[in-house]
Amino acid sequence: MLIKYEFEVRASAKFLFDLTQDYDLRAKWDPLTTEAFLVNATVAAQGELVRCTASNGLSMDTVYVAYKPNEVAAVKLVKGPYLFDKFAGGWQFKELSPGKTRVRFSYNVSTKPRWLSWLLTPVVGFQFKRETKKRISALTKYAEAHYEAGA
């Protein structure tokens, strides 16, 4: 199931990219994530492993498949909750003008067991959509408050 959201934020692409990829700040603005960190590195980059724990207590390990500062960060599932068969996510940032950026969140989720995926994937997708809307709202609010304060 493909889940996509596109929205605009009054902040620069660099500020938003740095904010979303800074794992020390992530739990401050992201209601879906209680903990996130790089497993074997100090700097995010393509090929690096990230562990995220959600507010429901479930954890997943993802690996960066794309990492282009100020533009795109994309990951795919390496290890996670049994329920996920596949998971991939990407965040894209396109600066429209100074201090205004279009952000696109894209997620692709499928569940297992495969014979029950036709039922479980839409349920998990619905929940993920709901949580993503909260994440977008929180990111926008946090970014705009802190960007304006620091700009």
pLDDT (0 to 100) of residue 9 = 98
Q: How would you write the pLDDT of the chain (151 residues) with one tens digit per residue?
A: 999 999 999 999 999 999 999 998 988 899 999 999 999 999 999 999 999 999 889 999 999 999 999 999 999 999 999 999 999 999 999 999 999 999 999 999 999 999 999 999 999 999 999 999 999 999 999 999 999 866 5
Quote the pLDDT of residue 148.
80
Task: Check residue 151 and give its pLDDT.
Answer: 57
Q: Which residues, including other chains, have CB under 8 Å from residue 103's CB and lie 6 or more apart?
A: 6, 7, 8, 9, 16, 91, 92, 93, 136, 139
> What is residue 131's predicted lDDT score, i.e. its pLDDT?
93
Is 5 in contact with 61 (CB distance < 8 Å)?
A: no
CA distance 38 to 5: 25
In whole angstroms, give the CA distance from residue 135 to residue 79.
22
